[in-house]
Amino acid sequence: MIAKIGRSSCTSILVGKAATTSGSVIIGRNEDAKTAWPKHLAFNKHEENLANNHFKSKDNKFEMELPTTKFAYSSTPEWTDKYGVFEEDGINEYHVAMSATESAYANERVLAVDPFETEKGILEEAMITVVLPYVKTAREGVKRLGEIVEKHGAAEADGILFGDRDEAWYMEIGSGHHWVAQRIPEDSYAVVANQLAIQVIDFNSDDFMFSTGIQEFVKTNQLWPADQAFNFREIFGTHDDSDLHYNTPRVWIGQKLLTP
């Protein structure tokens, strides 16, 4: 008899508008929580002049002040907020869509010099709540979350999806204070599966965004040869058995289904 093996298979897809028959940007992700773990569909109204608009996590000690104007947005929070809000995904009144998150993993070499802020850093449970109601484009969403990570720190490695009417962006957090993001070309798509996936970064292109000082951080800590192209996945990511047997094959089958 073969023993039952539990798997946690969260997988994301982002599609540029020229790669869809409708001309629409598409982002999507399945969730790997328990089967009997229901969600609510929520619609949050537009609010102005909010006094003391302060967020405090129930999952760790992360907290921050929020803007006084909050845009209307949808979300799918968990049935309980005991472990955090986990609004998870939604679309706001400016047609910005966001999904948080595709869980990922960083390597020990990077975390030795920039560890995750597990006690006070932002977790995926808070990301929709503190970002989506306050941005008007996908690019603004990346910028806002990136600034939060740099200021407050991140508590984990994550991949976050953003989309609006024109652009799809994929953002990855690779250490306590460093991240990158890449715009999906309009005629292309990406499949991501529980691993840091963004590779070579063009620091002179508008198709990439990145944390302040990330190049200097890598150089100072001798994390990558100076004469090689800056490859985020190689520098920050993992290459273990889980990638080999579990994560990379899901990316492969996704590409095979869409581009046989």
User: CA quadruple 118, 119, 125, 130: dihedral positive or negative?
Assistant: negative
Q: What is the CATH number of domain 12-258?
A: 3.60.60
pLDDT of residue 21: 95
CB neighbour list of residue 254: distance below 8 Å, 6 or more residues apart: 11, 13, 191, 193
Rounded to whole angstroms, the Cα distance separating 33 from 43 reads: 22
For 203-226, what is each residue's pLDDT tens digit? 999 999 999 999 999 999 999 999
> Which comes out higher in pLDDT, residue 98 or 34?
98
Q: How far apart are CA 226 and CA 229, in angstroms?
A: 8
Average pLDDT, the chain: 94
Structure tokens, 38: 């229901």
pLDDT band at 6 (very low <50, low <70, confident <90, very high): low
C-alpha distances (whole Å) from 126 to each of 81, 85, 195, 227 are 11, 6, 21, 38
- With beta carbons less than 8 A apart as the criterion, state whether 187 and 16 touch: yes
CA 65 centroid distance within chain: 21
Q: Which residue has the tokens 């009417």?
A: 165
Residue 57 near residue 125 (C-beta atoms within 8 A): yes
At 3, the pLDDT band (50, 70, 90 cuts) reads low
pTM summary value: 0.94
Q: Using CA atoms, how far apart are residues 33 and 195, in angstroms rounded to an integer?
A: 17
Say which of 10, 104, 161, 197 is annotated catalytic: 10
Is 10 marked active-site?
A: yes
Q: What residue type is 41 in one-letter code?
A: L
At 156, list the tokens: 């984990």
pLDDT digit string, tens, across residues 54-69: 999 999 999 999 999 9
CA–CA separation, 164 and 219 (whole Å): 35
